[in-house]
Amino acid sequence: MKMHTLSRVAVLRRPIGEVFAFYTDAANLELITPPWLGFRILTPASVRMARGARIDYRIRLHGIPLGWKTEITRWEPPHLFVDVQLRGPYRRWEHTHEFVEVGGGTEVRDRVSYAVWGGWPGEWVRRAFIAPDLERIFDYRERVLAERFNR
């Protein structure tokens, strides 16, 4: 299984506690996910973000509806949490969210490690669609976070 990594860093001009609190509200995932994904949280809004929390989503990738379930496997407020795909479109998916205090603000570091299904055809799909889609998703996320926290 070949693993791939996407890393992003965004600097937000707000305190770490405020930024981390934004991420602890699962409903905010819908705010930072591009509309073209048709992202919807299926788990009740009252889900408490903590180690072991499981969240069910529905997304639409290139018109194909997909279910996705993740679990929070590490929870170290206000500095880090990790979500891992239990069911979804990837063979493996692990998303590390790290929060670091920097000069009056917070550096948000995202690292996604993922693998795709299907051998070389899957790798072709990854290069043609998945990797560019992930870049677009995180570009969108950075814009929304900057608008919200860097006014």
Condensed to tens digits (0 to 9), the pLDDT of residues 62-107 reads: 889 999 999 999 999 999 999 999 999 999 999 999 999 999 899 9
Please give the pLDDT value at position 26.
Answer: 83
- 2-23 burial code (b ≥16 CB/10 A, e <16): eebebebebbbebebeebbebb
Please give the pLDDT value at position 1.
Answer: 83
Please give the pLDDT value at position 151.
Answer: 80
Domains observed in the chain: 4-14+37-149 (3.30.530.20)
CA-CA-CA-CA torsion sign (82, 87, 89, 92): positive
30 three-state secondary structure:
helix
pLDDT in tens, 110-148: 999 999 999 899 999 999 999 999 999 999 999 999 999
pTM here is 0.94
Q: How far apart are the first and last CA of the chain?
A: 43
Average pLDDT over residues 30-48: 89
